[in-house]
Amino acid sequence: MGLMLVLAVACARTPERGGYRAAPGPGANPQLGDSAPHDWGGRHPYGHAVHGIDVSRWQGDIDWNRVRNAGISFAFIKATEGGDHYDPSFHRYWRETAAARIPRGAYHYYYFCRSGAEQAAWFIRQVPREIGSLPPVIDLEWTHSQTCPYRPSPQEIKQQASIFMDIVGRHYGQRPIIYTTVDFYRDNRLGDMRAEFWLRSTAGHPSERYPGQRWAFWQYTGTGIVPGIRGNTDLNAFAGTRADWVRWLQTRLTR
């Protein structure tokens, strides 16, 4: 099943023509656009061959076949938050992306007033362990929660996040990816954590915002336009070529 999925995503479909704004650059996927594009200069994301999205309940109903035909190669779906919240659209999106043959994974929004072990147990309760899924993701960023204004020390954050990653990694057989933001990465010196990184950087290339940090995914806009989705959507680029993507999937899909 995993190998079949790898082969399926390696084959590009001819995009459908639509009335969507073309990406403001020489994008590999000309149907993708941006309602408020950044002026990237020479370090833009549009030349990357592999692009994907991350979604939550706020995207509403999604036509996943149109999304796939527009050139989207992967999707990360919000599953859980803290130790007792889940995204009400997660299970539906999980089924629909599988039916559309889009590689997808689940992400957890980390909450600082619960232990890493509690949050790992909650994530495992909600997210199926399915062959062919992308690795799980832990979303580490500063929150503005009224119920949890606590800001732990960098040592505590990394210790508890590592507990989460160890438990979740053992369950799914793939160590989680860390998603983070520029300020959170800097404030907590996340570069010494053992993980692949998914970096948010909407106003500069990751090499400028995260000097020296290797990354697998780059979230380059929160105002992307994707056929099949109403409203703005986060867009992400994979670091390598399409051949690199296929090799990455062969290594990192759940088995």
Q: Give the active site residues.
A: 54, 141
DSSP letters along 190-217, please? Answer: GGGSSS-EEEE-SSS-HHHHSTT---SE
Q: How far apart (Å, rounded) are the C-alpha atoms in residues 187 and 210?
A: 12
The single-letter DSSP state of residue 135 is P
Q: Where are the alpha helices (DSSP H) in the chain?
A: 2-10, 64-69, 90-99, 116-126, 154-172, 182-188, 206-209, 242-252
Residue 71: partners with Cβ closer than 8 Å, 6 or more residues away: 12, 13, 15, 28, 29, 31, 32, 51
CB atoms within 10 A of CB 13: 10
The values of phi and psi at residue 186, to 5°, are -70, -45
The closest of 208, 211, 205, 204 to 239, measured between CA atoms, is 205
The residue type found at 144 is H
